[in-house]
């Protein structure tokens, strides 16, 4: 095991000999090992220092078998740090106590006296769990920052002329509604950008945006692409497939170049969109 594979560890136990032995064992495998006999210092320690794993004894001064104090301090730790990785340790454990420990938020449960290899393996698994929490937090922060950048007013559309400001005002006005929107313009003028701007400012902003290039859908695939099909519905239908209307449920469906549709197909698409109701798809 690497010298610092176990990160920063806090051990809380009223047995001084146990603390000394645990520190001697773990200092070869951890970045830092902090020991503490008085559980009343837990709030101060957890609030002022970041620990990767906390080893917490379950019995202190009140009694030696109930585990009440351990559960009490476990609750205090989790309130201060909901993602704290806590391993409970006790000499008087049973299956019911272990189950309760996990329900209360403990990561694992170790009986005294422990085997060194078992303790190291348990700490290693707990460290991997802590690393996964850290990774998730970083990804969440990155996603929030990306979402924040994407939602800055009209950064995706270049233009500040009176005409563009008028378009922005129209987008803001229509985005608050559930109305179907027809966007007109020559090829390359940014109709999809407008559709995405409407979506990003609507109440559906957290749902999916689905774009469909109607010019690329053949007459024979029109119904299957937009409305889906069941397995066996036709020769190549080897599995069920959701249509774009279903995929875009509660979000936005952008039918690009809808003018390329034959009239009967366009009417069918409009009727099915209307049948979804104002609380489902938006047809743009």
Kindly tell me if the per-residue pLDDT of 281 is higher than 90.
no
Burial class of 275 by CB neighbour count within 10 A (0 to 12, 13 to 18, 19+): exposed
**Other Cβ atoms within 10 Å of 38 Cβ, number:** 10
The rounded mean pLDDT for the chain is 82
Beta 86-90 vs 209-213: how paired, if at all?
A: unpaired
Nearest to 72 by CA among 90, 86, 58, 84: 58
Beta 282-283 vs 86-90: how paired, if at all?
A: unpaired
Inter-axis angle of helices 116-150 and 16-26, nearest 10 = 70
DSSP per-residue codes, 32-90 = EEEEES-GGGHHHHHHHS--SEEEEES-SSS-SSS-HHHHHHHHHHHHH-TT--EEEEE
pLDDT band at 256 (very low <50, low <70, confident <90, very high): confident
- pLDDT at res. 270: 62
Polymer length of the chain: 284
Helices (H), the chain: 16-26, 42-48, 68-80, 95-103, 116-150, 162-175, 191-200, 222-227, 244-247, 263-276
- Percent of the chain scoring above 90 in pLDDT: 25
What is the radius of gyration, based on Cα positions, of the chain? Answer: 30
User: Which domains are present in the chain?
Assistant: 8-146 (3.40.50.2300), 162-283 (3.40.50.300)
Provide the token pair at 252. 């936005």
* Residues 141, 75: Cα–Cα separation, whole Å: 27
Lowest-confidence segment of 136-140, 169-173, 269-273 by average pLDDT:
269-273
Kindly tell me if the per-residue pLDDT of 250 is higher than 80.
yes
Phi, psi values for residue 108, rounded to 5°: -160, 180
Burial class of 123 by CB neighbour count within 10 A (0 to 12, 13 to 18, 19+): buried
């Amino acid at each position: 095991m690497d010298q610092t594979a176990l990160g920063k560890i806090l051990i809380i136990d009223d047995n001084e000999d146990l603390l000394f032995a645990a520190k001697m064992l773990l200092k070869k495998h951890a970045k830092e090992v902090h020991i503490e006999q008085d559980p009343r210092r837990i709030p101060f320690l957890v609030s002022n220092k970041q620990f990767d794993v906390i080893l917490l004894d379950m019995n202190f001064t009140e009694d030696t078998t109930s585990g009440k104090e351990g559960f009490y301090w476990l609750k205090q730790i989790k309130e201060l740090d909901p993602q704290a990785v806590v391993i409970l340790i006790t000499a008087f454990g049973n299956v019911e106590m272990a189950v309760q420990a996990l329900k209360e938020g403990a990561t694992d449960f170790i009986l005294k006296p422990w085997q060194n290899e078992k303790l190291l393996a348990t700490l290693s698994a707990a460290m991997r769990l802590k690393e996964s929490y850290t990774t998730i937090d970083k990804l969440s922060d990155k996603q929030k920052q990306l979402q924040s950048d994407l939602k800055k007013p009209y950064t995706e559309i270049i233009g500040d002329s009176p005409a563009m400001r008028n378009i922005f005002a129209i987008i803001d006005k229509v985005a608050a509604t559930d109305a179907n929107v027809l966007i007109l313009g020559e090829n390359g003028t940014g109709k999809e950008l407008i559709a995405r701007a409407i979506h990003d400012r609507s109440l559906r902003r957290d749902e999916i945006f689905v774009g469909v290039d109607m010019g690329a859908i053949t007459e024979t695939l029109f119904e299957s692409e937009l409305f889906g099909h069941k397995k066996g519905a036709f020769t190549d239908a080897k599995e069920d497939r959701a249509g774009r209307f279903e995929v875009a449920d509660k979000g936005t469906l952008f039918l690009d170049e809808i003018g390329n549709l034959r009239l009967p197909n366009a009417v069918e698409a409009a009727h099915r969109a209307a049948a979804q109701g104002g609380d489902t798809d938006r047809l743009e």
